[in-house]
A and B are shown apart, each in its own frame.
Chain A
């Protein structure tokens, strides 16, 4: 259990120490002469000088002091401090670019080093711990996340960071980026929507006919066991044959590779969590509640729509949440069979050994998954009867 607010907190000092050691040991940033060549790394002191190194180190020191001394409202101060620090973290890179980027070379760029990521990661963990010590409400947690995101957004838009290689990669393919976003979202959300409808029907059938339960659940969990790369691969031959046999399908864009096998596989994967949660949710509505509804003179239809469904909704939404997160990740893999989306950047970047292109694909994928998680968790919380 979390220690009461009066006692010294042991978690934050450990995290701060880890952050301190890693940020001094690892490279904060890299100066690359061009896109592919691995550049020269700079540590915290080399990259940002006395000022930056001093600010970062003293921030961590202050955090340890605040966490261990019995100061009033220390966790509020700490959460304010950590939020501000996380928001302005990209400024470290801006200082680095000002100091170390050669002014005469048009292709030179700065890359983000492991030290920067570690610092960001541990600061985020410290913030997480502080917020849970404060027993922060969902609204407060969300506003902190939004504040940090806004800070990074503002920093990224500044002229000072235009030499950051990640931003250069983005600037080179801004059009492709927004297209990848559209494809990624429509594929994953489309699969979730289609499988939600299918799963609802299947779950209803299972509720009505107990006999169907074992074979149906067996089938969908069998599909979940097949690894994504294998399922994508296995769909190529049959869909290719179909499209060769029926030119009408080909005109629709249904081929062995592309969006069609991707969508099919995504739907197949989405069925298990969706069917299982919908079925469990509908079965777990307490019988007395249903009886009470009937006793009030409700028809079966009314009982289903006004009693069972609202009570089952939180668990169904949990199924949608798991499915959406999973579909966003699998859509990235689907880029291997030419489905588009952010996975295209990842695998292109891996092919060209251009690490920032990999980041340009991987970071938005992670961001989309986290955003879907936050939105659907909030929705589930709202629909939970209290």
Chain B
């Protein structure tokens, strides 16, 4: 018998070519336009027309493009995992309170400075300072959610607990914001807009390592994730250790989203929307297909959003969070209206 499982080789090849194309275009666009051919030469250590182009690409645009790929893939995969685990189309990478935890950490660092009365400010606002505050916050809130998760049997309850922690932290942030000064507020707002740039190669290495560890967890839960599509009881009857799978999903997601949020801020929408977009494109629920598909699509969409956010040939850069939602939401709405219904 021929395996009737559809092969998506063609779609994957098209997606990969698109990824490479978008990547190169992303490198060529910016405040200064660099021709595609020169981008190629810069990447392959060739002779360039202008020396400055080489350093623009290698030390500014390349790190940013790589960050975009990791952020896009990581958030999208996390979103997919959450949607399968909770069997809820509204679940995203941030339902476990990771983004609210990170926001809380940063809010306490920036806005809470006046409360603490400390002079940590000048040192603390470096990238690593913010990243550490965000990580600590995310880790604390996530641990609270995980401890609660061990107590409850029902997976849905974890979702609600995560959302409740989110409400709690945003309440604390509101109070901090109320007492904060205008300049502190602005600084906090800038962080919450999200940003892909400004990462050094050292920081990107940290990001890459965390990404690879997260992905390797994901590869080993593809099989139980497919079984979970039948519901927890069937999964159990098929020999799946549901609790262990749930914990692995939570660990992989928190690692991916936690580190990404720490370095690039709470980037909205991608984690929720890309899995939907991919499911519409592939119309499958099989994670063997969906995981790589979501990873590539996430990277492509993040690169496109970043290219738009830079407002090519101008000096200005728009907040990446605004772009992801501004362009993503209408596309999802259009696709849903056209296809009528999505199945998970």
Q: Do A and B come from one complex?
A: no
Residues of A near any B CB (own CB < 8 A) = none
